[in-house]
Structure 1
Amino acid sequence: MVRTLTSTAIVRVTPARRKSWTVRLADFLDTLHTLMTTSMRISNAKARRELGWAPTVPTYREGIPLVTKASR
């Protein structure tokens, strides 16, 4: 009885309904491209003004080696 109920409740996914790995890869690469090329310029002016905060290094490029060194 349980076996019959279980086997009828299972829905088979036909190959036509599944995305191929190439389509999934293309979707991922498209999303990655969008993330990497979208401008995400931000300002730290509010933190400076309201908190009196100052960055340790002037640019993010100078900070990357410090972060990688600290994470080791």
Structure 2
Amino acid sequence: MHLAGELDLESGSDAEALLSLCIAGCPDLISVFLTRLTLLDCVGLEVLEAAEHRADDAGIPSPSPAAQS
């Protein structure tokens, strides 16, 4: 998944809903690419962190550091 634009207070709920849909589909792995973001504030970071915890709880592993580069 590629996120683009701003991930902040205004767009955080949309990103959270999209990530929740992805997690609900129980994929083998979810990769979120942030290179197209122009703004990432603390709310955006909280959205990403919460999604990672929900994915872990659902048994979806985080990518290894080597896979993230």
TM-score (ref. length: structure 1): 0.28
More relative contact order in 1 or in 2 (CA 8 Å, sep 6+)?
2
Larger radius of gyration: 1
More strand by share: 2
TM-score (ref. length: structure 2): 0.29
